[in-house]
Structure 1
Amino acid sequence: MSDRESIISIEKSIRYISAHVKSHGREILKKYELSPLQFVALQWVDDKEGITIGELSNRLDLAHSTTTDIVDKLENGAFVKRQKYEKDKRIVLVLMQDKGHQIIKEVIAKRISYISEITSHLSADEKEMLPVILESILQESEKRSHE
């Protein structure tokens, strides 16, 4: 297999594995009546506590009004709350509620369980090498995304 063919195979594998892991984790969303897009928004709020609606709309690549609708639904479901920024009352922050943290934990646990299942056939050496290789690729990816 040529280098190009190998890279094409890696891209396809990463894309498919990512889709499968997301799909299994998102089974939890049915219980909470959340859409995948609402969950992605919730993840961004969890990653950056005190994110503004503007920042969130940029992260989601959606119009401000669409993002506001998503936050409304998340707030109505008690997953997040809005709070005025103390230093500038014109700015509204989106903060996680306990229910939001709980669903994130459940989805991550479901994803971890699935990854454990799909890697169970690997040898002990492969299981030890896989996170090291993936972490190295992730670090390089993050370096290049900030350039």
Structure 2
Amino acid sequence: MSDKDLIISIEKSIRYISVHVRAHGREILKEYEISPPQFVALQWVGDKEGITIGELSNRMYLAHSTTTDIVDKLEKLNLVKRYKSEKDKRLVLVKMEKTGKEIINKVINKRISYIRDITAHLDEKELDLLPEILESILRESEKNTHG
């Protein structure tokens, strides 16, 4: 296999795996009437101890108004809450509520279960190498994204 074909194969595999993992986790979202973009926003909010709508918009590559609509819906469902920043009272931060954390945990647990199922055929050596390889790729992708 040529270098180009190898990279094309890796890209396709990563893309397809990502879609399958997300799809399995998102089955739970139907119970809560949350759309996939709303769940993505919920995850970004959960990753930080308070995030502005502007920062959330940038991370999701969405218009500020679209992100505001998503946050409004999540707030109505009591999954997030807006707070004034302690450091700068002009800033409004979006923070995760308990129910939001519970939903994320359920989805992540479903994803973990799915990953456990799809990696069950790997031997012990392959399983040990997989996290190291993925972490290395992740570090490089973050350097190239943020650097």
Bin for the TM-score computed over the shorter chain: over 0.9
Counterpart residue number, 1:63: 63
- Residue type of the partner of 1:28? I
Structure 1: 4+ residue segments shifted above 3 A: none
Where 2:78 maps in the other structure, the secondary structure is coil
Q: Give aligned pairs, total.
A: 147
- Residue type of the partner of 1:83? Y
RMSD of the TM alignment (CA)? 1.0
The C-alpha deviation readout for 1:100-143, integer Å capped at 9, x for no partner, is 11111111100000000001111111111111111111112112
Where 1:95 maps in the other structure, the secondary structure is strand
In structure 2, what is the Cα distance between the partners aligned to 1:113 and 1:119? 10
Counterpart residue number, 2:121: 121
- Residue type of the partner of 2:144? R
Tell me by how many angstroms 1:88 deviates. Answer: 3.0
Counterpart residue number, 1:74: 74
| Aligned-pair identity (%) | 71
Unaligned runs of 5+ in 1: none
Unaligned runs of 5+ in 2: none
In structure 1, what is the Cα distance between the partners aligned to 2:115 and 2:49? 27
In structure 2, what is the Cα distance between the partners aligned to 1:81 and 1:114? 31
- Residue type of the partner of 1:101? K
Tell me by how many angstroms 1:28 deviates. Answer: 0.8
Where 1:93 maps in the other structure, the secondary structure is strand
Greater strand share, structure number:
1
